[in-house]
A and B are shown apart, each in its own frame.
Chain A
């Protein structure tokens, strides 16, 4: 990856994070998970996937599914940076005059399928991958899942079937931010050794720093990791990445910030100096 491209990605990632922070006021959003996933989503759309609202009928286009639906601010923030969504629409978040709410839906150009209920989009992506195989097409099918989402039995059921059908056109990216809703994963329902679990289910697995564009580029370029196997990337990330006052905090999972807190976080994003926050998680799953 050239320095010029890297700098551009880093600047766009900052912009995506600004969008996320602005969406954390006026009703709030799942800010922690959105910040952990922002670099992955931006990287995939910019550097890895061949898909846009303009090429949906192209038989060679790729598919992206966001199974961890909480990451709407990161997804739509990325769409703004890609020019697919008017920035002004983000201020319609949670308004009845638009369809921008806490989980993705297909009214937003770019969204392949709705999500929100965890453990669904793996099998939906598998259906797409299966059809590409049946038609002997080479499309890449990527599904981003959460580590907490791996509690769902349907994820492991899906892996059994995906491996049985040798869906090597399928790439599962785990946003491994070490948290589920209210708790660190390893304290509630431990997932480790996660890589070995995926390998035992027949997948070829790579780990990568999910905030490092160059490392991601090296890793994703190797897809498919092995012929006949489902590829899995465990992207090691930090919940709340980019905002020291939110990073790795279980009590900043879903937050509805006051306008002055939003302003404080916007400056914290650039200065890295912690802003004063009093708002905490207001809803539990």
Chain B
């Protein structure tokens, strides 16, 4: 089943679901002719699309809206916050090419603060799937959830099969106690490979796929903090407001100090093809594992 298949099935089962886009059809090119009564393309108008989604939700609809993550979360931010957030309306906001996935587009298209600003909205939830399998496992659950959701659209091929999504529950791989790698979204794949490299170097590693930075799985994070010598957060996001900040907030809340190594962005990344971006910015599995080892020793 593809993203479009799942959405189509949901619409065929329940007329409340409606697909909207500001002229971004990458996830469902073949879908519009099949769902003429459940599809609205508002053109290049992120603000109007979000306002209309709120209006549709007032009528009992569940709009799933699509646009590039930067324009959606930043151009239309105040509409999301004011119409969807204050209204606590079940609008599902799907941001395309988030983080490194905007590869060659340049800084205008780099959504590397989206998690920070979306999680700052009361009532809003955030889902950052690790890959396509993770996204499809969680899609129905997030769409059917009664509150607003922001999702980082991620069609990258999966390295592992994921479990069904439980909102607010992370997915933990391994029970190593030297190093705990906390990651969300696209970089899960590199982190998964980095775990193997580190294990070949004799380290015991656990990998935590955060899945929903909000609501965060506090139990999984604090268990890792208690059991592991080194915590690492990895994200294709600015170091402010994302996972490193979330872990910091949890440590303060629990009055615990820990050694946390952030692997995150300090400014906009070098635009290039995706693999070259990872190499240049130091986010390949090899570079991640080297950064961790350098810090660990």
Contact = CB atoms under 8 A, between A and B. Distances in A.
A158 interface: yes
Given A117-B82, A134-B37, A161-B43, A128 B48 contact: no
Instruction: Please classify how large the interface on chain A is, using the bins under 10, 10 to 19, 20 to 34, 35 or more.
Output: 20 to 34
Nearest to A113: B58
Q: Which of A113, A114, A124 has the most CB of B within 10 A?
A: A124
Contacts of A106: 87
Instruction: Say what secondary structure dominates the interface of chain A.
Output: helix
A111 to B, nearest CB: 12
A113 B48 contact: no
A130 B52 contact: yes
A197 B49 CA distance: 22
B222 interface: no
B53 interface: yes
B51 A123 contact: yes
A130 B59 CA distance: 10
Interface string A162-177: 0011000000000000
Nearest to A159: B48
A120 B82 contact: yes
A124 B51 contact: yes
Contact of B42 (A113, A119, A132, A161): A161
Interface residues of B, number: 26
Q: Which of B45, B47, B55 has the most CB of A within 10 A?
A: B55
A160 B22 CA distance: 13
B51 A126 contact: yes
Given A126-B51, A131-B55, A164 B83 contact: no
Nearest to B55: A127
A216 interface: no
B62 to A, nearest CB: 12
A106 B57 CA distance: 15
Contact of A113 (B37, B40, B54): B54
Contacts of B115: none
Contacts of A266: none
A123 B65 CA distance: 14
A128 B61 CA distance: 10
Interface in B1-58: 37, 40, 42-43, 45, 47-58
B87 A113 contact: yes
Contacts of B87: 106, 113-114
Nearest to A117: B82
B87 to A, nearest CB: 7
A125 interface: yes
A154 B83 CA distance: 13
A20 interface: no
Interface in B201-244: none
9 contacts: A114-B82, A119-B47, A123-B49, A123-B50, A124-B52, A126-B52, A127-B56, A127-B59, A161-B42
Instruction: Identify the 10 closest CB pairs spanning chains A and B, nearest first.
Output: A127-B55, A123-B51, A127-B52, A131-B59, A124-B55, A127-B56, A128-B55, A123-B48, A154-B47, A157-B45
